[in-house]
Amino acid sequence: MDMLEIITRKKLGMELTGEEIRYFVEGAAKRSIPDYQLAALLMAIRLNGMTDRETVSLTLAMRDSGDVADLSSIPGLKVDKHSTGGVGDTTTLVLAPLAAACGATVAKMSGRGLGHTGGTLDKMESIPGMRIDLSEEDFIRQVKEIGVAVVGQTASLAPADKTLYALRDVTATVDSLPLIVSSIMSKKLASGVDGIVLDVKTGSGAILPTAEQSIELAEAMVRVGTLAGKPTAAIVSGMSQPLGTHVGNALEVKEAIDLLSGRTEGDLLDVSLTLGGYLLLLAGKAETAEEGKEKMRQALISGKGLQKLKEMIRAQGGDPAVCDDVSLLPQAPVIREITCGRSGYVSAMNTSELGWAAQGMGAGRKELDDVIDPSVGFVLKVRIGDRTEKDTPLCTLYARTAEDAERAEERIRAAVEWSSKPCGRAKLYYALVTADGVRRLEDPE
């Protein structure tokens, strides 16, 4: 089979056969096909799309490109949660320990930053000593002992995705529905869990910016999960502004700790509790998602969630003392307070640009081998709908140099819009997607 012919066929918008898909997926896994040819095919897929049949074939081929984890030795139903990516989206570090504290078995495999979005693994590695590269044996042992582990996928698990995921990050092909579906679901299906909860983002900071596109993505992933015999549910949630207030790896870990400690709350906590409710439902630890959400809240209030985070950090070689003293996290040398400089109402944010501002400071990657600075980023002090004056704080910058801070300030200012008239708050929930269909959601008053 010829890779050039496969690229040409997809370039012309033709449907690839299952054999052709398996061929290039196997080549990606074994690194027998050059990156430049894989990159060309990714762009052809991004421009011309894939049929449902192609998407399912791609997902299953990627799942079968390596080992499929056997978690059968772990008692009970194993569950996992995945986000399609956003800015200030630290839900995993909040909901995973809370769900485990409620008795769920959370066997989670996470990814690194992709494009303007942050990655859970990058955030976790900002904790001194924290390991994310556990063997399958250690992963299973940890889940058995404390009910939760968050790790990176091993080289033998969906290895084709590891190659394609990294290439998507540097070829502007992140926002392709079939590539998103196959990347996420191949890993989830290969991870051996019994139930999957998906957080599909929509808005200016999401991979797919419109609600209808995001609902379509959620439907496709739920359909693939269901066909594979894994109960799957998806919440379509808003990313028209950063979900949390902290953007940057160590800063986001700090915010997760603040939330679990009860020192703060907000949209990040609300979405974490909502997703956790469905996680407990699929884990058999709640009769309804609403009951599950309330159990999560009680685990937060009691402090059991924070205690479980400490257990997870300790089990993975990290220093759990960061949960009591967040100053032990990496600290940036340059800290700068920025004011709004204008009065009015915050009416919109270009959340992708805010993510790129953090990436430009060193919080993300421009090239595959870039080294992340875990200390840099910013804390945003305003939300859409807020009334501001000229001296109202806009954000606090954490940078390596004064020049980095100046560039970030310029980019952040350009990403925030004001209106002279009052405007509503950003919408947080759009839809619930299950095997039974789509239910549109309204934010609670």
Which residue in the list 80, 122, 161, 404 is annotated as catalytic? 161
Going 230 to 198 to 372 to 40, the CA torsion angle's sign is positive
Q: Please answer whether residues 351 and 241 qualify as being in contact, where contact means their C-beta atoms are separated by less than 8 angstroms.
A: yes
**Is 204 in the active site?**
no
Given pLDDT bands bounded at 50, 70 and 90, which one contains residue 156?
Answer: confident
* pTM value > 0.95: no
Report pLDDT for 174. Answer: 84
C-alpha distances in Å from residue 231, one per residue of 195, 196, 263, 352, 435: 5, 6, 35, 31, 8
Architecture of domain 78-325+428-440: 3-Layer(aba) Sandwich (3.40)
Backbone angles phi, psi at 316, to 5 degrees: -100, 25
Report pLDDT for 101. Answer: 98
Which residue in the list 10, 22, 63, 82 is annotated as catalytic? 82
For 232-271, how does the pLDDT look when each residue is reduced to its tens digit (9 = 90+)? 999 999 999 999 999 999 999 999 999 999 999 999 999 9
For 396-409, how does the pLDDT look when each residue is reduced to its tens digit (9 = 90+)? 999 999 999 999 99
For 302-340, how does the pLDDT look when each residue is reduced to its tens digit (9 = 90+)? 999 999 999 999 999 999 999 999 999 999 999 999 999
CA gap 225, 410 in Å, rounded: 43
Q: Residue 69 pLDDT more than 90?
A: no
Share the mean pLDDT of the chain.
93
| 408 CA to centre of own chain | 23
Non-local CB neighbours of 260 within 8 Å, separated by 6+ positions: 94, 97, 98, 300, 305, 306, 309, 323
Sequence-ordered strand ranges (E) for 132-229: 148-152, 195-202
Which residue in the list 46, 78, 123, 187 is annotated as catalytic? 187
Structure tokens at 295: 């159990």
Architecture of domain 330-419: Alpha-Beta Complex (3.90)
**Is 161 in the active site?**
yes
Which residue in the list 65, 182, 183, 214 is annotated as catalytic? 183
**Is 9 in the active site?**
no
Query: Can you spell out the DSSP letters for 250-303?
Result: HHHHHHHHHHHTTS--SHHHHHHHHHHHHHHHHTTS-SSHHHHHHHHHHHHHHT
As a whole-number percent, the residues of the chain with pLDDT over 90 amount to: 79
3-49 and 330-419 share one fold: no
Q: Residue 119 pLDDT more than 80?
A: yes
**Is 187 in the active site?**
yes
Report pLDDT for 117. Answer: 67
> For 398, how many CA atoms within 13 A lie in the half-sphere containing its CB?
20
Neighbouring C-beta atoms of residue 374, cutoff 10 Å: 25
Given pLDDT bands bounded at 50, 70 and 90, which one contains residue 114?
Answer: low
Query: Can you spell out the DSSP letters for 215-258?
Result: HHHHHHHHHHHHHTT--EEEEEEE-SS-SSSEESHHHHHHHHHH
Given pLDDT bands bounded at 50, 70 and 90, which one contains residue 444?
Answer: low
Q: Residue 359 pLDDT more than 60?
A: yes
**Is 123 in the active site?**
no
Longest dimension (CA), the chain: 64
Our CA angle for 280, 154, 111, nearest 5°, is 60
Which residue in the list 78, 162, 168, 246 is annotated as catalytic? 168
CA gap 418, 288 in Å, rounded: 40
Instruction: From the options 1.10.3720.10, 1.20.58.740, 2.40.30.260, 1.20.970.10, give the CATH code of 3-49.
Output: 1.20.970.10
Report pLDDT for 115. Answer: 60
Q: Residue 445 pLDDT more than 60?
A: no
Domain limits, the chain: 3-49, 78-325+428-440, 330-419
